[in-house]
Amino acid sequence: MQFNAAQIASLINGKIEGDDTVSISSFGKIETAIKGQLAFLANPKYEEHLHLTNASIIIINDSQEIKQKPEATLIRVPDAYSAIATILTLYQKLRTEQMNGIQQPVFIATTSKMGQSVFIGAFTYVGENVIIGDNVKIFPQVFLGDNVSVDDNTIIYPGVKIYHDCIIGKNVTIHAGSVIGGDGFGFAPQQDGTFKKIPQIGNVIIEDDVEIGANATIDRATLGSTLIKSGAKLDNLIQVAHNVEVGNNTVIAAQAGISGSTKIGNNVMIGGQAGVVGHLQIADGSKINAQSGVSKSMKIPNTTVTGSPAYDYTSALRSQALNRNLPDMEKRIVELEQLIQQLLAEKISH
C-alpha cells in the first residue's frame, strides 16, 4: 500500500512543508528509516535526526523549530505522537480488513452465529451458542467456549483461550496466549489441612475499546463477573483475579497482579510488577509505582504511592533523601558526642 504526503496530511489535519506528492509504502524509526518510509519526531532534542534520516516523510510537532530545512517532506501537527498513532491505527485496520473467510481445519458448532466479514484462522474451536459480531478477526488456534460473545471489530490473536460464558465487547484487542475466564483461585481450608475447591461459576466481561497484552490471565468470578471496563489497557503477563473490577481508561503495566475482589477506579495507572492485595478500593486517578505492594485501600483520588508496603510517594522521596544522608548524619553525631565529652571533661577539671 502506498500513500502520498497529501493523503497522509488529510488524515491527521497536518500542514505540509515540501513535496506533497512524495509517497511512502512503510514505516520506520527516524534514526534508521530509509527512502519510501514514514517517520515521526515527537521529542525536540532529537532534531539532529531530521537531517540524518533517509525517511521520505516526517511527521513533527507544530512547535518544533528547525534551524535548517531537511530533505524530507514534513507534515506539521499539534501532537506528532498522537498523529502517528492515528496513522498506524488506520494502517493496521486496512491490513486486518483484508482478512476474511474461514480457514481449515476448524471446529465451529452449528449453534454459533457469525456476523459479516469475519475471519477465523485454522485450528480454532468455536463452541455452542457462540456469537461473533461483524468484522471480528480470530487468528489461528483460538478457543471460544460455549456461550461466549465477541462483539464487532474485535481482534483475537493466536492461542487466546476464552472460557465459557465470557463476554467481549467492541473494538477489543486480545494478544497471543492470553487466557480469559479461567477459574479464580478459590479454595476453602479444611480441618484436615486440605483445601476444598470452590467452583467458579461467574464469568468475565470485557467492555469496549479494551486492549489486553500477551499471556495475560483474567480469572472468572466466583459469582457475578470479573469486569474490565471500557478503555482499559492491560500489558503483557498480568494477573487479574476473580471478581476484580478495573475501571475505565485504567492502564496496568507488565507483570502486575491484582488480587480477588479489588475494585480499581477510573484512570488509574499501575506500574510494572506492582501487586495489589484483595478486597481493596483504589480511587480514581491513583498512581501506583512499579514494584509497589499495595496492602491498604487508596481512598483519596489522584494520589501516588510507592514501595512495599506502598505509601505516599512524596513522603517516600523524603525518606530516601534521609537514608542517603545517614552516613553523614552519623559522622556529625559522633563528632558532637566527642565535643560534648570534651566540654564535660573540661568543666569537671575546672
Asked if residues 163 and 220 have their Cβ atoms less than 8 Å apart, the reply is: yes
Asked if 170 and 54 sit in the same domain, the reply is no
Asked if 276 and 195 sit in the same domain, the reply is yes
- Lateral strand order in the sheet of 37-41: 15-17, 73-77, 57-61, 37-41, 26-27
Segment among 96-100, 169-173, 310-314, 334-338 with least mean pLDDT: 310-314
Per the domain annotation, does 147 fall within a domain?
no
Asked if 84 and 169 sit in the same domain, the reply is no
Asked if 256 and 179 sit in the same domain, the reply is yes
| DSSP code of residue 299 | -
Q: What is the CATH number of the domain that holds 19?
A: 3.40.1390.10
13 has a pLDDT exceeding 90: yes
Per the domain annotation, does 350 fall within a domain?
no
What is the structure's pLDDT at 247?
Answer: 98
Per the domain annotation, does 334 fall within a domain?
no
Residues 6+ apart with CB under 8 A from 329: none
Asked if 166 and 75 sit in the same domain, the reply is no
| Average confidence score pLDDT of the chain | 94
Task: Tell me the catalytic residues.
Answer: 242
Asked if 175 and 287 sit in the same domain, the reply is yes
Of the candidates 52, 72, 97, which is a domain's last residue?
A: 97
Per the domain annotation, does 178 fall within a domain?
yes
What is the structure's pLDDT at 230?
Answer: 98
How far CA 190 is from CA of 187, 197, 239, in Å, comes to: 9, 10, 26
How many domains in the chain?
2
> Which region, left, alpha or beta, applies to residue 103 given φ > 0 means left and ψ of -120 to 50 means alpha?
beta
Asked if residues 121 and 103 have their Cβ atoms less than 8 Å apart, the reply is: yes
Per the domain annotation, does 57 fall within a domain?
yes
Q: pTM of the prediction? A: 0.83
What range does the domain containing 266 cover?
A: 160-309
Chain Cα centroid distance, residue 11:
26
Q: What is the CATH number of the domain that holds 170?
A: 2.160.10.10
What is the structure's pLDDT at 192?
Answer: 96
Asked if 51 and 174 sit in the same domain, the reply is no
55-70 residue pLDDT tens: 999 999 999 888 888 8
Of the candidates 48, 69, 97, which is a domain's last residue?
A: 97
Of the candidates 79, 97, 115, which is a domain's last residue?
A: 97
Per the domain annotation, does 188 fall within a domain?
yes
pLDDT-derived band at 320, boundaries 50, 70, 90? confident
Asked if 186 and 262 sit in the same domain, the reply is yes
